Amino acid sequence: MSVQLTILGSGSSGNCAYLETDETRLLIDAGFSPRQIRQRLAGIGRTPESLHGILVTHEHSDHISGLGGIAMKLGIPVYCNRATRDEIEQHHGGAINAQLFITGNTFTVGDVEVDTFAIPHDAQDPVGFLIRTTAGNIGFATDLGHFTRLVGERVRQANVLVLETNHDVKLLHDCPRRPWSLKQRILGRHGHLSNDAAADALEIIMSDTLRHLYLGHLSRECNRPELALATLHERVERLGARHCRLELTTQSAPSPTLTL
């Protein structure tokens, strides 16, 4: 049995991933327009109509902007907690087919088991996921201002991890287009992880079973792919963890599909 993961896109303006097992097809977040989601799924031979559900981490627009034209239009179940459900429905002006979970609990979709855990971010009740499949565990830890012990405990079990590398601190400080208040938010404990903070997190959770690390949610203005990759690569080398492959994600195009 195989499991396939495709990061359809990740960045400050949109986040969406596709996971397929023998029995289950899921999106993790839906932060692109419905048209973009449909086009990106078509690129791997899939359609929104085949989805069994959409897992939502939190209500910011770069994670839910496509829900209106995908989940609400097609009646696809949306797995989220109550606070996120309320924000989604207010944002899109209508009801979703919400399958509610309590943050910290585990639920099942087909042959997939999903652990949920709280993350520190400036949303109502943001979560990360550890998705357990027959071929391995896939973790999602993006949009968090600092790496907590709880997050570390959960994602340490991942064989594949999508980890936020949002910004380079110097580029953020020097960015003329970002007001100081926004810089403070990003740098705060409920903002976003820098490249260095992500490297520190990786040092905490590195294991012999972590095989693939996706660098996610890169800022277009305040980061550079080569900076993020170099920072994490240096830490991987220092740890002697050459078994862990680093993969960049982009806003503009899907990453190559990973088969577990």
Where in the chain are the domains? 4-259
Q: For the domain with range 4-259, which CATH number is right: 3.40.50.720, 3.20.20.450, 3.40.710.10, 3.60.15.10? A: 3.60.15.10
The pLDDT value recorded for residue 3 is: 97
Token representation of residue 163:
């980890």
Alpha-carbon separation of residue 24 from 13, 209, 227, 253 (angstroms)? 27, 24, 36, 23
Q: What is the pTM of this model?
A: 0.97
Q: Which residue has the tokens 């097992």?
A: 21
Residue type, 157: Q
Strand locations in the chain (E): 4-11, 14-20, 25-28, 53-55, 78-80, 98-100, 106-109, 112-118, 127-133, 136-141, 160-164, 212-216, 245-248, 258-259
Print pLDDT tens along the chain (260 aa). Answer: 689 999 999 999 999 999 999 999 999 999 999 999 999 999 999 999 999 999 999 999 999 999 999 999 999 999 999 999 999 999 999 999 999 999 999 999 999 999 999 999 999 999 999 999 999 999 999 999 999 999 999 999 999 999 999 999 999 999 998 999 999 999 999 999 999 999 999 999 999 999 999 999 999 999 999 999 999 999 999 999 999 999 999 999 999 999 99
Phi, psi at 131, each rounded to 5°: -100, 120
Phi, psi at 168, each rounded to 5°: -95, 130
Alpha-carbon separation of residue 29 from 9, 54, 168, 188 (angstroms)? 10, 6, 24, 23
Q: Assess contact for 149 and 16: CB atoms under 8 A.
A: no
The pLDDT value recorded for residue 2 is: 87
Nearest to 50 by CA among 61, 62, 41: 41
